[in-house]
Structure 1
Amino acid sequence: MKKGIGKAIVGEWSTKTIVTMAVGAALYGVLMMYGSIPIFSQTNLSTAMIVPVVVGGMYGALPCSLTLLIGNIIADLIGGNGMWFDWSIGNAVLGFFVGLLPVYGAYITEGIFKVKHAVIYAILCIIGNVIAFGLITPIFTYLFYGGELKVTFIMAGFATVGNIAVLLIVGIPVLFLLSKRYASRSNLREE
């Protein structure tokens, strides 16, 4: 079923969407703190990157973006190391790119996710990470905190590589499995 680009970006909104976003943000925050492997100073390879895959796949770009924004704020609160809104905004931008699935025809909840969608998803995850952490986060680090950009760029580089690894290696199979699950529930087949 084709949807307009605006509707695909804004996503599907209902009580279920709000609840999923709240649970996703809380889970994202907890996994950022406790479900990660440190790879560089304040930068981790995180299982939290599965949250945007599920939220973005089911509800679209804006719900995914807000989930990651709030989830990163929750991680900052749990961590007790201060609020890092530069990284929260970067995560929101990344969530937007991950959640663009319906824009290019990947309707996970309708059982539609093919190899071509996986390729587009992979490209957008790479572009989204580079923009979010190679451009947006350093800009806001400088604007908000007057931070040392060299350190931010190094941290962003490690975050980008780690995020891309999880989003692609784990995320693509998760999207295929979710799509298959929804297809079997609805008995729908794309022709």
Structure 2
Amino acid sequence: MAGKEIEAGPTATNVAANVRRLRNSRGWNYVQLSDAMGDAGRPITPLAVRRVEETKRRVDVDDLVALAIALGVSPPALLMPSESTGDGVELTPSRSASTQAAWRWATGEQPLIEPGQLLYQLSSEVAEFRRQNRPYEGSRVDEATRTLITGNDQLAPAAAMRAEITVYVTSDGEVVGRPPRVSYFAAGDLFVDEDQEPDRGDD
């Protein structure tokens, strides 16, 4: 006797929708995605691709990685919803988060936080989370905080922040509690402060 079919949860629904969206964006049919999966080392039939998109075929972790490779995205891009909504993201039937909080958690940027919760961005909890989820950064785990804290995409990539300031981020991604002066140490012993122009030296 056939086993009882398990209803797809929110993440499986996201994966199905994202596979269909990304396949269509490339102008591929089921056969072409099936071929790309074969090239990625995880061959599945065109019928199986269609069943994935209909949430009628389970996607295991090896399938997920191969689908991400075939479609040119990261695994979290298949797991998370592609659009931000005011309703947030349903991660499991009993756990939801704002879209920004869910994506930051999925990409190893910060622990998952509840709506309305404040997260101290320079806490040991965040640092340990990043060490576990971004091992390639090594001792430079603080780099992931820069854009959140500076709010400045030009300063953030080059600056290594001094960790004596207090900055919080809400579950909606809003930075609160930023002090009036924030100092950074950049390449070439350049210090930059929010309330003054960078000292670029004699040249």
TM-score (norm 2): 0.27
Q: Greater RCO between the two (CA within 8 Å, min separation 6)?
A: 1
Whose radius of gyration is greater, 1 or 2? 2
Larger strand share, 1 or 2? 2
Structure with greater proportional helix content: 1
